[in-house]
Amino acid sequence: MITALNAAELREAIAPGKSVGLVPTMGALHAGHVSLLSRARAENDVVVMSLFVNPTQFNDPDDFDKYPRDLDRDRRTAEEAGVDIVFAPEAQTMYPTGFDTVVTVRALSSVLEGASRPGHFAGVCTVVAKLLNAVAPTRAYFGQKDYQQLQVINRMTRDLNMPVEIVSCPIVREADGLAMSSRNVRLSEDDRKAAPVLSKALAYVQDIADTGVHDAYQLRAWLAQTIEVEALAKLDYAVIVDPCDLKEVDTIDHGAVALVAAAFGSVRLIDNRILRPASGPEVRR
């Protein structure tokens, strides 16, 4: 496995004419990241994992400072997962003095995570655009865990004619349903016990939909109430939206995704579930 620190070293390491899979990460790797790496390994000649805790996508400096970092452990995990090249630039390499460009996907970035975390998606889009330009991958892999991010990146690559296939990978969960996240290690013992309420509420809403309730307003109310019963959860949003434009829907009949965000202590967690109407197949786009 090669470690590249800048775009020139990357170009040297990637043999021409090979299919390349890129998995962008911020490190603190867990089984969710490994699932993306395994998929990339299965589908490409060369696998590149970027490892960069991108300062511009953190609207909260405390969250950036406390973000878990362990480069040596991450390099071992990446090697075991079959990564060929780790791209681990310094912030100064990504954003040298005079850096002055921002990539913004407007409407999709203004709601939900974008509303709660001003500037977050501009930071994500700008860094992902730089990574896509530096690596020039055939495919780039993103987790459904960050559902809105996935839709924002899809929009950006389509709008800007970026020649890459965006691959969506399913959410990997702990045994009790909690979506794996690098931030989970920062949960207190009590908050860790409370946090699975998010995935339970999402599963519960699908159960209710399965009984024939397709009215999104009713389902949304169930979703919010189930989370609010947990005293340690401070609900930010619980919505049921169109899978592509993320606008709230009236019914789940034409496909919908339920998205939630809540804080447990100082740790903000998100989760989601693609909802299917009882009689139809699960909608994936």
Q: Which stretch binds ligand AMP (CB under 6 A): 2-10, 37-45, 179-187, 204-212?
A: 179-187
Burial class (CB in 10 A: 0-12, 13-18, 19+), 243: middle
33 is catalytic: yes
User: What is the 3-class SS of 121-168, one letter each residue?
Assistant: HHHHHHHHHHHHHHHCCCEEEEEHHHHHHHHHHHHHHHHCCCCCEEEE
Q: Which stretch binds ligand AMP (CB under 6 A): 11-19, 40-48, 166-174, 257-265?
A: 166-174
Report CA-CA distances (Å) from 60 to 20, 64, 119, 186, 259. 33, 7, 10, 15, 21
Q: Exposure string (b/e) for 6-43, b if CB count within 10 Å is 16 or more?
A: ebeebeebbeeeeebbbbbbbbbbbebbbbbbbbbbee
Closest CA to 122 of 137, 111, 106: 106
Among positions 4, 21, 25, 148, the unique one binding ligand AMP when judged by CB under 6 A: 25
Min dist. Cβ of residue 2 to ligand AMP (A): 20
> What values do phi and psi take at 129, rounded to 5?
-60, -40
State yes or no: residue 171 binds ligand AMP (CB under 6 A): yes
Choose between 149 and 226: whose C-beta lies nearer to ligand AMP: 149
Report CA-CA distances (Å) from 174 to 31, 178, 179, 180. 9, 5, 6, 6
Among positions 21, 32, 196, 255, the unique one binding ligand AMP when judged by CB under 6 A: 32
State yes or no: residue 14 binds ligand AMP (CB under 6 A): no
Among positions 84, 113, 146, 230, the unique one binding ligand AMP when judged by CB under 6 A: 146
State yes or no: residue 52 binds ligand AMP (CB under 6 A): no
Among positions 169, 216, 257, 261, the unique one binding ligand AMP when judged by CB under 6 A: 169
Choose between 87 and 142: whose C-beta lies nearer to ligand AMP: 142
State yes or no: residue 142 binds ligand AMP (CB under 6 A): yes
Min dist. Cβ of residue 201 to ligand AMP (A): 17
Residue numbers annotated as active site: 33
Residues that bind ligand AMP (CB under 6 A): 25-26, 32-33, 35-36, 142-143, 145-146, 169, 171-172, 179-182
